[in-house]
Amino acid sequence: MTTVEKKIMSFSIVAGLVFCVPQTALAMHIMEGYLPPAFCIGWGAICLPFLAAGVITIRQLVQQHRKSILLLAMAGAFVFVISSLKIPSVTGSCSHMTGTGLGAILFGVPATSVLGLIVLVFQALLLAHGGLTTLGANTFSMAIAGPLLTWGVYQAGKKLRLPKLFNVFLAAMLGDLLTYCVTSVQLALAYPSAEGGMWSSMMEFLAVFAPTQLPLAIIEGILTMLVMMGLETYAKSELHELCCAKGGLFK
Amino acid sequence: MSRNTKIVLFSLLAVIVLALAPLFALRGAEFGGSDDAGSVKVEEVTGEEYKPWFTPVLEQIIGGELPGEVESLFFCIQTGLGVGVLAYGFGYLVARKKYGGMQEEKPSHKEEQL
């Protein structure tokens, strides 16, 4: 699994870099300085409770369930990898995925929001991708709204007894899509169009983001499913522990 | 071939096709970031040129845009870090299962509930 995985990864990295990076274009998050200050602060404020809950969750996890730290690190690493791969899409532009679905399924929304924040800070500081002023808005869309839907869909799918792998795929895919829908809403709120107001402006932004993101969302769903398969084969005891811990941690 | 192997192979194939098909289908397309498309849309919707009120910290420090090659370096570092941790984790888990004997295998039916 690892060598195959590595091969696939390096292949997609090379492909992604060769075809996307030469145009210095940045993909997908709201860019630095593109949201009015009031919105920056507002979105940041909404994120705070989730992040605080996330830090508490992770602390508990580290103290009481040491075994699951490895999985937490892997979920974080998954976000790192997935959100760095810029992939060409059907609309002729490049975008990247979020990778937060795995964390949401394994650890719930709060812990995932912290993982997502780490990646966003990394990208905002070093890559000028996203930005510090838009950090709150981007954290909300990528690390809170998306995971929230992923988590919800996954729980619902479990109740409905969907096949597990399909459930993981569906949840991760929808979470990824929602991330970019939320981005559109955020932009629309900040920039209502002159004639149609917020709704028409939202449609405009959605028209830019949604078609680009759809194939990528499918890819994200598949990749999340594959990692989940790997974990189920090789990390049974960790998943088991996590699942018992969940009773106390994530209710 | 087991069922899982089939799923894995098929999924990887689907990923590659999905990721690379646009490249061949839309020859000559620019494949810029959809961020930029978003920024252009901002100007379109508001009807005036938008000046970002804050430029990235790094760009302020180096006084200009990050060169494309350096940007790819940082992206590689990000990917590398991630793949490193993932590969370490899976390497550890796979080896544990392979060499750890049976005591690690706690057959349980609870996983289904995760």
Chain-chain contact of A226 with B12 (C-beta, under 8 angstroms): yes
Q: Is residue A162 part of a domain?
A: yes
Name which of A9-18, A74-83, A225-234 the model is least confident about.
Answer: A9-18
Residue A185's domain comprises 30-249
Top mean pLDDT of A23-27, A101-105, B18-22, B55-59 is at: A101-105
- Show residues of chain B in contact with A30, CB under 8 Å: 35, 38
Per-residue pLDDT tens over the stretch A210-236: 788 888 899 999 999 999 999 988 888
pLDDT at A4 over 70: no
Chain-chain contact of A218 with B18 (C-beta, under 8 angstroms): yes
Which is more confidently placed, B22 or A145? A145
Chain-chain contact of B33 with A86 (C-beta, under 8 angstroms): yes
Quote ipTM for the complex. Answer: 0.76
Name which of A10-19, A76-85, A177-186, B49-58 the model is least confident about.
Answer: A10-19
Name which of A59-68, A76-85, A131-140, B60-69 the model is least confident about.
Answer: B60-69
Q: Is residue A107 part of a domain?
A: yes
Asked if B44 is an interface residue toward chain A (Cβ–Cβ < 8 A), one would say: yes
Q: Is residue A199 part of a domain?
A: yes
Q: Is residue A120 part of a domain?
A: yes
Q: Is residue A5 part of a domain?
A: no
Q: Is residue A25 part of a domain?
A: no
Is B76:A21 a contact under the CB 8 Å cutoff? no
Model-wide pTM > 0.90? no
Per-residue pLDDT tens over the stretch A24-68: 333 457 777 778 888 888 888 888 888 999 999 898 888 888 888
Share of chain A above pLDDT 90, in %: 27
CA distance A207 to B45: 13
Number of domains present in the structure of chain A: 1
Q: Is residue A7 part of a domain?
A: no
Asked if B7 is an interface residue toward chain A (Cβ–Cβ < 8 A), one would say: yes
CATH number, residue A162: 1.10.1760.20
Q: Is residue A230 part of a domain?
A: yes
